[in-house]
Structure 1
């Protein structure tokens, strides 16, 4: 949609004369045009603003938040937002503004551009309470959102769950002959008497919100106030609201002469039974996706699904029941996929899925498992439970083909191979890739049961003082004792725990088990034994993390002052404000916090000032080069000097030689660990080791994140 098309004459007058700032941007946030009010807020000439990214005018600490919001607007059509942000003037002055935004859709409802409005918050309002300011912000955001919709060149309606009209734009008033007040609260049937649409029958918001399920428009007649009927196409989009479900309806007015052509076009592109894309449109979208993947040097996956023994269902219950089952199959597939995926019915009982942005081909197996699990529940056919399964074939660009024809052909060949093996399974076109993916799926399944089967165990590695003679700490490492494969390296399964969403559950088990074990050791002569637990970013981001931590400490009887949590810098980077609150609540319990792998990520001195950090851990990659590599020496010296000045303890990981030990000791490193002193050991061996190495000072037990 061109800038001139958006800024039509009525809206351009509003745009140029508005008292608040308005900027029209593309999907990347690059400003296409801005009005004079916006230019005044940032101290620039309107012509100089065009071509610059909107983030340029947001203060550094909030750029990430605004960037996430812009991405969210593009991903969720008709979504809107309002929030307070600091805006930077050309002279460096920062002004607190209310920023509101929404997408401007094209005629199909897809987001094309972003409209951003900016209003400076008066000084007097800044002191008002948050609730009052939020109410004003909501009202302002809603007003600007509807002004934008008033400017689009086609009718737009809002309806609620009861199919009653809650708002229409100016173009709808012109098209149907009503003013908005005449239609508010009235049934949708006033405008579309022949429309058969059941919002209550929608099982999932994805039916209207997910681009993969872009439901084709409903072809009906609209009734003008004067009684004249006009053919139209209606496209429904769901709006996420906290307390209700509303819909936006985009209306395409058809001429009588073009109505048949539009209907024919609809039939050419969409499957009439499931209302998904058909083979023609799927292949066209696949072609565009291949072009993008080639340009961005990324992979993409093509999945072909064939429903096993579907002919028997048709023969037993009839074609009408079969068509109803196909609709439900389509809905189940949609529920398993991302919003960015494309789904189609190729014909008969065969479906296809396009997966873009695939980083590792083997990860497609996770999607396949979700699809297989999606068929685990029965389908209701004439009030009877019928179980269906699917045979799935997969091809990957560019490994299995460089064009539409070969990718489709190879995915179908892989599907037939799966069908020959009895169905209810999958195959990659490439044999080696299929084997790796099946192994990955097997590990996924086994990981889901490993915790209940008590297959996870903890190993401990001692940590010593600078002299290397006194045991100060123990680091406990997670191991998976597989019943057939033995001990599996952590790097093999820890990332999978993260990906499968099991890391929180397993992390809580680690915390509870270690606290209980350390408490037991305290009762056996190690009264001041301390424990440090490494937690993942996902685990610590849970809203109830602090409460759960407090509960575990109470259950195990471990003193909070005997516990240290070890985190990585990713915890601090992901939503810094939220992380700060969580870590402060942890510190208030009396639990200390260690920053692991310091210097390897996005290390920032601001972290040490902002967050309650008590310990720094020098990564083994720096220790490995000591004392010969000049860069490693310089980095290690800098970390030690910084920690001393801030009163922070330092622990060096991966000490393996006497030379490394001597260097760290001479440079006043507090604690060390590594193979030079001891390797990781199971709890039974640990108990014997502690007895043999007792030196009159109680060891400090350390449970980190999961390291090899």
Structure 2
């Protein structure tokens, strides 16, 4: 049987035992006498022209010669007449698994009789079933140990092995009075890779990152994967704390080169937390906790950096844990509320729509703006549920205002990256429109320019399907993303929302004014509506009017308000009873 050679530690050659041979013409009585002279001999290989053709084992022969007159009857017979014919014969390089399959499929008796091993088709020795069973048992134990202690994807030690190694390292360091540096490494925005390219690409990226980590650190350093996109590096016997910082910088630098994943260049960064034993921890558990806290501080400080643990971080960490716990339940406790900011037609002096902006009525903290919790919600995987809530509530409110106040408004809802990537988005939007009774043209979905450019085919396909549904689409924060404008030609975009950074710069003159004019001219040329965001002063408003901007929103007209508070303004605007422009002194953001 032609079988591919296996790795040396997996070859059946390790089972080889020396065994004498006897030609097929040997008398049976002589073979019996040979067994009688050597009590350790269990098997004899029978050969024909030096080629193994059968086996004779001690038990079988002893049983035969225990019968009366066997020597007289069969002693002069040839051993070939009594041998075990057609034994299992394999090369010494054959894998243990292949041998096992052969025995199971073809000849289970080989487990008792034994099997013959050859090397380059020349007789080399024999193997026995009990040795094979012992080897399989040992391998099974090793396999179970590996499953329990090593990450199946990267081959790195897993959390269980990491904790054991770190505990032992701390004990050694305590005895030898040496220092340990522990690095917690967490990839930034890894979820976006999974969402964009799929889990197969995410797995491949984790494998490649683990390889770079192992290449970057010393051979004596221990790299582990705790799960997800979290890795650790344990540095034993370091001379100073600066050594761990140097290793962290090397890791960050090593990740700068892009990874070729499924034909796409993918770049990731890492946030790294560092803690030291015994200076900052009394045991392995505290060392882990402190490094983890420092890692989250690195993320809070902007990602793609490292931070060493400091005691003050524990206070902010407890606050983060509290916010995380409360945020997970905020939706079910009805603590989330949609505020609405009017969008104004500067020519007709009427409110044409509202943008939905989320607020969290957090117990004990008052009204919390989205900037303080949406990033955490994204990390916790809550954005899809929160986005669904905002969409449903907006559509319901627009329909209610139309029926009760007799006002025609468009409701604008922001889409997150994960929502835009979800293939179920168009169907879900259609379902919400049907449930609420809102016409598709009464809904405006806003997507940031950067999200558009970072999206793959699924996102663009979703935008096209939403356009066919009749939903209006707007590019939010226009002018702050990439320079490519091809998506304006290829996607069914209705509006461009000029980012507030340009509007805020109008009064300073120069480039901000020039860029705002350019965006307005671009929108007019493409027959798109341009909406100025963040309008706060009369001078900004005058500039926008003079340059052909018809639509705007900002504190100059109204800050975001709860639905009930906004209603009087909607009624007054519809009747023309009041100016939409508020006194400038009243429109500045209040502290907190």
TM-score, normalised to structure 1's length? Answer: 0.47
**Matching residue of 2:462:** 582
Report 1:5-404 matches (<5 A). 176-178=92-94, 185=101, 192-197=135-140, 207-213=151-157, 278-279=168-169, 336=227, 338=229, 340-342=231-233, 396-397=273-274
Aligned mates of 2:309, 2:533 — CA distance in 1? 44
Q: Render the CA deviation track for 1:288-319: whole Å, top value 9, x for unaligned.
A: 969x99xxxxxxxxxxxxxxxxxxxxxxxxxx
Aligned mates of 1:186, 1:282 — CA distance in 2? 48
Q: Are the equivalent residues in 2 in contact too, given 1:515–1:553 (CA < 8 A)? A: yes
**Matching residue of 1:542:** 422
Whether 2:355 is the aligned partner of 1:412: answer no
Whether 2:515 is the aligned partner of 1:631: answer no
- CA RMSD of superposed structures (Å): 4.8
Q: Provide closer, same or farther for how the CA distance between residues 630 and 679 of structure 1 changes in structure 2, counting only shifts above 3 A.
A: same
Whether 2:574 is the aligned partner of 1:683: answer no
Aligned mates of 1:282, 1:667 — CA distance in 2? 73
Q: Are the equivalent residues in 2 in contact too, given 1:532–1:564 (CA < 8 A)? A: yes
**Residue 334 of structure 1: CA displacement?**
6.8
Q: Provide closer, same or farther for how the CA distance between residues 581 and 546 of structure 1 changes in structure 2, counting only shifts above 3 A.
A: same
Aligned mates of 2:103, 2:182 — CA distance in 1? 41
Q: Render the CA deviation track for 1:350-409: whole Å, top value 9, x for unaligned.
A: xxxx9979999xxxxxxxxxxxxxxxxxxxxxxxxxxxxxxxxxx953xx6xxxxx4443
Q: What secondary structure sits across from 1:507 in the alignment?
A: helix
**Matching residue of 2:334:** 454
Q: Provide closer, same or farther for how the CA distance between residues 641 and 339 of structure 1 changes in structure 2, counting only shifts above 3 A.
A: same
Q: Are the equivalent residues in 2 in contact too, given 1:214–1:276 (CA < 8 A)? A: no
**Residue 684 of structure 1: CA displacement?**
0.7
Q: Provide closer, same or farther for how the CA distance between residues 467 and 176 of structure 1 changes in structure 2, counting only shifts above 3 A.
A: farther
Whether 2:438 is the aligned partner of 1:558: answer yes
Unaligned runs of 5+ in 2: 12-89, 105-131, 187-223, 237-244, 253-271, 290-295, 298-307, 578-591
1:438 to 318, 332, 343: 318
Aligned mates of 2:474, 2:149 — CA distance in 1? 42
**Residue 563 of structure 1: CA displacement?**
0.9
Q: Provide closer, same or farther for how the CA distance between residues 359 and 628 of structure 1 changes in structure 2, counting only shifts above 3 A.
A: farther
**Matching residue of 2:393:** 513
**Residue 440 of structure 1: CA displacement?**
0.7
**Residue 602 of structure 1: CA displacement?**
1.7
Q: Are the equivalent residues in 2 in contact too, given 1:599–1:619 (CA < 8 A)? A: yes
Q: What secondary structure sits across from 1:694 in the alignment?
A: helix
Q: Provide closer, same or farther for how the CA distance between residues 431 and 541 of structure 1 changes in structure 2, counting only shifts above 3 A.
A: same
Q: Provide closer, same or farther for how the CA distance between residues 483 and 274 of structure 1 changes in structure 2, counting only shifts above 3 A.
A: closer
Q: Are the equivalent residues in 1 in contact too, given 2:170–2:180 (CA < 8 A)? A: no
Q: What secondary structure sits across from 1:464 in the alignment?
A: strand
Q: What secondary structure sits across from 1:340 in the alignment?
A: strand
**Matching residue of 1:670:** 550
Larger radius of gyration: 2
**Residue 344 of structure 1: CA displacement?**
11
Q: Provide closer, same or farther for how the CA distance between residues 584 and 542 of structure 1 changes in structure 2, counting only shifts above 3 A.
A: same
Q: Render the CA deviation track for 1:556-588: whole Å, top value 9, x for unaligned.
A: 121112111100123223342121111111112
**Residue 187 of structure 1: CA displacement?**
8.5
**Matching residue of 1:466:** 346
Q: Are the equivalent residues in 1 in contact too, given 2:159–2:226 (CA < 8 A)? A: no
Q: Render the CA deviation track for 1:474-529: whole Å, top value 9, x for unaligned.
A: 12211111121111122111111111111111111011111111111111243632
Aligned mates of 1:358, 1:671 — CA distance in 2? 50
**Matching residue of 1:56:** none
Unaligned runs of 5+ in 1: 1-148, 159-173, 217-269, 294-332, 346-353, 361-394, 401-405, 420-425, 698-707
**Matching residue of 2:492:** 612
Q: What secondary structure sits across from 1:481 in the alignment?
A: strand
TM-score, normalised to structure 2's length? Answer: 0.55
Q: What secondary structure sits across from 2:441 in the alignment?
A: helix
Aligned mates of 2:405, 2:432 — CA distance in 1? 23
Q: What secondary structure sits across from 1:410 in the alignment?
A: coil
Q: Provide closer, same or farther for how the CA distance between residues 639 and 156 of structure 1 changes in structure 2, counting only shifts above 3 A.
A: farther
Aligned mates of 2:94, 2:317 — CA distance in 1? 59
Q: Are the equivalent residues in 2 in contact too, given 1:208–1:215 (CA < 8 A)? A: no
Q: What secondary structure sits across from 1:642 in the alignment?
A: helix
Aligned mates of 2:534, 2:509 — CA distance in 1? 16
